[in-house]
């Protein structure tokens, strides 16, 4: 019933959460996988919590129900760590990837999971993606995700970003490449 890889994305309206799920699905498709990505539209408002999902598999994906036990959770906005149970249903030995400022310690989180962080906000801002106060972090996060997830290469992710980014394609691709280098595993 489960696909090979199931991913849940958490972020806020305006950060490109849904596009992040589409970029990942498109990249995995380029790697030869069958894919499906879909949003849960709670409220389509800037700043409101947004969830999106992606499935990656070797055979066509027929299931249309939501993902309740993901293998990966991607958190585009660390303020959601308070208030949203981002770890809900995450598989044992699952992986959490959080956009988190460099040099700041992660809050205490359950030890059953593997944690990676990336300062995607700084990278997106440095590449001029979105505004300085509200950088759009999705492409940086997906660059970083390709470092964590063996099934999707950085090159496939960059190719996908170049297709999906509506503007500043090269800047988004450069942010993804930098993010790939700067993503690291952390202990909690």
Partner 1 sequence: MRKVMTGNYASAYGAKAARAEVIAAYPITPQTSIVEKLAEFVSTGELRAKFVPVESEHSAMAACVSASILGARTYTATSSHGLALMHEVLMWASGARLPVVMTNVSRAMAPPWSVWVDHMDSVAERDTGWMQFFCESNQEVLDTIVMAYKVCESRGIMLPAMIIEDAFILSHTSEPVDVPDQDSVDSFLPGYDPEVKLEVGKPMGFGSLVRPDQYMEFRYKSMLAMREARNRILSVDKEFKQAFGRSYGGLLDEYMCDDAEVALVAAGSVAGTARTVVDRLRAKGMRVGLARIRAFRPFPFEEFRSLAGRVEGMAVLDRSYTHGAAGAFFTEILGALYDVPKRPAMKNYIAGLGGRDITPNVIETIFDDMFVRCKRGSDLQPEWMDVVGLPRRRS
Binding site for partner 1 (CB under 8 A): 1, 18, 21-22, 25-26, 29, 34-39, 41, 61-66, 68
Q: How far is the CB of 66 from partner 1 (least distance, A)?
A: 5
Q: How far is the CB of 68 from partner 1 (least distance, A)?
A: 8
Residue nearer to partner 1 on the CB measure, 51 or 183? 51
Q: Which pairing describes strands 114-118 and 184-186: parallel, antiparallel, or unpaired?
A: antiparallel
Give residue for tokens 């999902």: 53
Residue nearer to partner 1 on the CB measure, 27 or 176? 27
Token code pair at residue 74: 């991607």
Q: How far is the CB of 29 from partner 1 (least distance, A)?
A: 5
Residue nearer to partner 1 on the CB measure, 42 or 107? 42
Residue nearer to partner 1 on the CB measure, 32 or 111? 32
Q: How far is the CB of 143 from partner 1 (least distance, A)?
A: 19
The Cα 133–Cα 101 span in angstroms is 14
Do the Cβ atoms of 74 and 53 come closer than 8 Å? Answer: no
Burial-class residue 129 by CB neighbours within 10 Å (0-12, 13-18, 19+): buried
The Cα 35–Cα 75 span in angstroms is 20
133 C-beta neighbours (distance < 10 Å), count: 6
């Amino acid at each position: 019933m489960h696909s090979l890889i199931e991913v849940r994305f958490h972020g806020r309206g305006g950060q490109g959460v849904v596009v992040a799920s589409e970029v990942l699905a498109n990249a995995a498709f380029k790697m030869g996988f069958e894919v499906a990505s879909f949003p849960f539209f709670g409220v389509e408002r800037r700043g409101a919590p947004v969830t999106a999902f992606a499935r990656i598999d070797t055979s066509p994906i027929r299931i249309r129900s939501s993902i309740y036990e993901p293998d990966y959770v991607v958190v585009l906005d660390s303020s959601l760590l308070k208030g949203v149970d981002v770890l809900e249903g995450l598989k044992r030995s699952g992986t959490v990837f959080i956009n988190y400022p460099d040099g700041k310690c992660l809050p205490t989180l359950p030890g059953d999971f593997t944690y990676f962080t990336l300062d995607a906000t700084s990278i997106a801002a440095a590449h001029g993606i979105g505004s300085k106060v509200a950088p759009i972090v999705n492409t940086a996060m997906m660059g970083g995700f390709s470092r964590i997830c063996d099934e999707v290469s950085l090159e496939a992710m960059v190719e996908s970003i170049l297709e999906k980014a509506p503007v500043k394609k090269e800047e988004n691709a450069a942010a993804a490449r930098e993010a790939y280098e700067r993503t690291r595993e952390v202990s909690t």
